[in-house]
Structure 1
């Protein structure tokens, strides 16, 4: 068979390539760094690495061989993986062709079939494909070079498709050498794979662990960012201050003593553990019977058991707690803190509407409670058994809000994805009775406290008196080092009389014990209390306790019960019981323009009915907030029936007049130079409030000024006064409207401005045209 010069040159180059002895495997040096192993995770550098391996292989060839291989490789094949895949495809096609044609030649009496040799090529390529990535990473040149030679042969045979061409390229000896070389290459590939298998497997595991750790970190980072995002949105919730059962205002107040209220607490506990228990439990009873103490006890028990979702304790005369405008935001904030998934849903609602806390209660309920509870939440134990405790709903001063709130709470039965149940306590006032009657019997369980305790109330009062009088006897020597009380200073008969005098109001028992606890001569005062007869006048039962306290407070002053003393009493005590937020003795004296000494004249003698802050040494802390122990003291002093009482008339507080005087004190204080442009002296217009420390704000807007800014409108509205042209309010707004708005902004109450202007507009007594002028301001 004649060969063309070109064929001869090609055969020589191929023979030259395959005639080389395989380079010995280099010693495997210890690696300072792990082998870079490509896992199934995509790496953008893969194609570049593969292309580099092929380039390294071609660089070892002569220029002519390199040109031949490059001419045979398709233009789109740039990597070792793609080239091997193509070679395998063509070899498979050639394998099928050879099997059909049975091409062969005779060598030393033995018939050599081309198909057998091609089979070996395909087998080698199969092995190379399975370990190619591994070996290429370890020894790219040793793998790349043999492949390049095999590729030349495969391409030559594929393009010519004839055994004669194979014979032209190879002699019989060449074919046998090629057979041997194929075997050597397969063995080398297997050895390479085996040598680095464990190292690569370990490195693959380490890399996988690293990648998984990275994914965990990314997931953790994403979760943290979500929490931060939620936290930023939840910060938009405006909640009522000191409204929870464990707040600074409620946390220190009494709980039920062990052994008391056993039957009632047992009934409530049965309701809480009953999976079929009704959604709403209403506990009603008259003032002073102990509803709030029961509420705090139940809320604390549920909280310890991990079943309390939220609590809200209404309080008449206490700013945010005297109305229901912030009820749902306060409940939502507590639920969000305890149930992260629910918090995420609430945060989404706030992101959609950041001013939702200023919207109507119905929208607040839908967006902050109902819809989040109906969203796709991960069921947690608290969601399966969650309780809300709402105390003293009757102390919400807006009757319409009470009616709306009860209508909305009825819809809690629409929530089926979680089981929310509600304990509500209140007096049996007509609006509340009507609201609860509108609820279905399947939703509501109601208990009247007087009926539930008809048998146990006396024994509960007896337990309470025994406990408290023992405590008073124990504390007395510490408070009076030079005095002592006999262990039997309160006899069993005395306790029975005290029970009769208090029944059925725990607030009377509580106040009696406070009187004795603060007395320097408790045994004598006990005799006086027992001799005091219950009257038939205002708040029967309460006057027998409160009147002696008031009479003693006035009697201890330097001027006794004079008209001047009683006027000062009404000014100080009347203001104290009507404050929307409690003030310290120091701040109250500044607001009322009276001396701290005069405030101190009445405050200490009233420690049995007022919660007085004390220092470590037991003396009165003039910087601590003062507030009544119980709302009944406020109600007693404001009751119009007291005015007609022979004994108590001199202590009666005219509520409307007291509110008017308080409004006047607030405006006087604000007009007196405390309000001005840049009141906090920041000298940087546009600076965010969050960037200014609370200490700077408190220094420039002290407690009494902050109170006056916040509540002068409420005092003037409650007083029943009508606003007239050129009156105090008119002049104040003309000169200080913007200063007042700025101060409220620093206090975090900028949103109160719109509501306050609306309240003022409602009490303006001017012509229609002037009314429209104020409406334009509004």
Structure 2
């Protein structure tokens, strides 16, 4: 049985090999003569490519080399080589899984990649443009190795066209490898002249893109012609092919960051000194409240992928009107990076912060505190082992010793000091920083904070990705001039709005809040449709309208309110609710106004017990009221929020 299987696949392997050979034969003689990469063993070439890429990555890391592109963007070459290494690893996986594909068949282009790697990077110089192009070449070789196993080795009416298109694609790859080889082998004077008249970076991808689009369409036709779903190996190859759409995950070299293990008490003291803000609890709350499956549009958006995938440090500003779900989207991004860290010992350090303007948590709108929290997270990635970056630990110890002599507490880091520490920590490793609701910072403090982030992105020797969310604000966008921007529009979030509206209506019914749970199916459907139609991109608007409708006692009243729904702004909704509270002029009105005053003045979080006690002091009418959390929120018309995770009230 084994022998028969081997005999059956050999013709396909020989045929697969001929695609690269056929591509070579389509080149003009001059180019074809340049394709001589002299690999001794086809089967060893992948291992040598991997080894060479790793060696050249280490050189780029040590030299901190960057490529300055014509548009001003700086590409971190170490990061590009990390991606090349990732594609080689994925190519090896193809050989491990595929039945029909033999990795030796792509020895020719991989030998070209290895040759260019060796010549493009040395201890003295680097040809950054060639290194960057090799990322694309490596992806193409790997991706279409998978494609061959799925669509060339099986019978199909479009097989001839698929093969012809692949040959054309491979010819484009070999053409570039040949031109780049000749360029690197030429004299300095020739390279200068060549760069001026016909620069290598003029290698256009339009033809590649056109051929890839054609192959994608052909693949759909083949899928319709044959049933491949019963083959487990096909499933594995398809999974690998789908994984090619994901960015190659950057790896942090923890060995290059000097870490110090600390005692438990010392570690706790250091963490509290760096930043006491419970950032992980804030994230847990926002992540828990997000409707499952929402936010995917952002992770798949071309601008987000450009920000996430590129080998350049960059800032992405996600902005929109109040209530459009910016915080939920920030939590979705944080969760996506946390999921990448799972089980990965060399994951990229991640820091995130949810800004807020509250009297009892002033640090959440303080740029210094935000940056201290970022330093804390980036310097203590190995919390389980109580390891801290040496540079942070040593500075803490120095300050603590100096303060002990004078009898004071050690002074905490200021913004510029945090910037210097972050730059030192990212000298050898990449990092991701996510800051939500930057508009919550006072207008006079924002410039300093954003200038620090801009400098970190501009100066860092490694790739640093920064995501900021904010209400649309011309001042903030001006301070981040040059950053990628993405405005949240109703078209982006229409599916998420639908899921949110349906979820909230269902919750109102199941919790007996809407007509005590006795809601006809037609009313439920009409209510969902009305909310979805009027919400635009405002999730909070949906929530406020549902809560308002829950106060109606009959279906007729609800339908009348639904007819009067309009897409007014959140400020208009809040203003109307406050007017209704004040005009009521009764006990409930007094309860609401006292609650608002307490939230505005409180210097620490107010639990339900503390809030109710403070409201009732000095007024017998209020003391007699049987207040609880649910009743208090209802009285205040949703102008206060209760955090069940942290057990305190806050402003919306």
TM-score, normalised with respect to structure 2:
0.49
Larger Rg: 1
TM-score, normalised with respect to structure 1:
0.42
* Structure with larger RCO (C-alpha < 8 A, sep 6+): 2
